[in-house]
Amino acid sequence: MSRELEALARIFERPQRPVLAVLGGAKVSDKLKLVEHLLDRVDGVFIGGGMAFTFLVALGHGVGRSLLEADRVEAARAILDRARARGVAVRLPVDVVVAPGPDSTDGIRTVPVREIPADLMGLDIGPGTVNQFTAALKGAGTVVWNGPMGVFEQAPFAAGTVAVGRAVADCGGFSVIGGGDTIAAAQAAGVTDRIGYISTAGGAFLEFLEGRELPGVTALTEAA
């Protein structure tokens, strides 16, 4: 636990800058508090995975049948406005890999986010997004990554997550990753040996990044 806290403290208390956060996963509702907390502490946020589509709708894009939490669109829009006011760059996909569903590759193709067909869903970030994310991650002082960029468990939709995993490993700065899917993605990308720290704290990892008090840590600190 001591090693875990020491590694995580390097993200916020004494980070090398720029500090960049890469966030993915399915639900934006799981990450709203995290994004809000990070805006005061990072220089840039990269958003992919299913959660990106709620942010894209907040910008006025149609997303077809992609995963969308309609009741979180206003919250996503508020986060984008706050990031803009604070000068924090928020990078969203510029293209996505679309298909009828995770288990169907009929008609699979890459399209710009402005041209997602109404009958298809985005299941991975596209190569244009990969190029932008990779270029922006180069030279980062600190990178924290949580959440895949798409349905990486399915081979046709794994390229974006694998590429981002490699970009995090190659950033040149201190990298921290956490979450079961993220660790699995790093393993799929073959980069676990080049990550600065891999957190196995599970949900507590996200709670720490959200700035929440961890009762066990508090109790141990007070006892010490």
96 phi and psi, to 5 degrees?
A: -140, 155
Per-residue model confidence (pLDDT) at position 214: 77
Provide the pLDDT confidence category of residue 6 given band limits of 50, 70 and 90: confident
Q: How long a stretch of residues is the chain? A: 224
Radius of gyration of the chain (CA): 17
pLDDT at 51 over 80: yes
Domain that holds residue 204: 2-223
Amino acid identity at 79: I
Q: Where are the alpha helices (DSSP H) in the chain?
A: 2-12, 32-38, 52-58, 73-86, 127-137, 159-169, 180-189, 203-209, 215-223
Domain count, the chain: 1
Q: What is the pLDDT of residues 30-43, one digit of tens each?
A: 888 899 999 999 99
Residue percentage of the chain with pLDDT more than 90: 76
Place of tokens 């079961």: 180
For the record, the structure tokens of 208 come out as 């720490």
Per-residue model confidence (pLDDT) at position 207: 83
pLDDT at 71 over 80: yes
Per-residue model confidence (pLDDT) at position 218: 82
**Mean pLDDT, rounded, for 13-20:** 91
Residue percentage of the chain with pLDDT more than 70: 100
CB atoms within 10 A of CB 118: 8
Q: Cβ neighbours of residue 32 under 8 Å, at least 6 residues apart?
A: 72, 75, 76, 79
Beta strands 121-125 and 95-99: pairing type?
antiparallel
Per-residue model confidence (pLDDT) at position 175: 96
pLDDT at 96 over 90: yes
Provide the pLDDT confidence category of residue 69 given band limits of 50, 70 and 90: very high
Per-residue model confidence (pLDDT) at position 10: 81
Distance CA 98, CA 191 (A): 27
- Classify residue 62 as left (phi > 0), alpha (psi -120 to 50) or beta: beta
Task: Tell me how far apart the 2 most distant CA atoms of the chain are, in Å.
Answer: 60
- Closest by CA to 97, choosing from 70, 117, 80, is 117
Per-residue model confidence (pLDDT) at position 5: 82
**CATH assignment of the domain containing 161:** 3.40.50.1260
CB atoms within 10 A of CB 107: 11
Residue 98 DSSP symbol: E
pLDDT at 74 over 90: yes
Q: What is the pLDDT of residues 116-171, one digit of tens each?
A: 999 999 999 999 999 999 999 998 999 999 999 999 999 999 999 999 999 999 99
Side by side, the strands of the sheet bearing 121-125 are: 109-112, 95-99, 121-125
Task: Check residues 44 and 220 and name the one with the higher pLDDT.
Answer: 44
Q: Report pTM.
A: 0.93
pLDDT at 202 over 80: no
Distance CA 91, CA 71 (A): 22
**Mean pLDDT, rounded, for 56-79:** 97
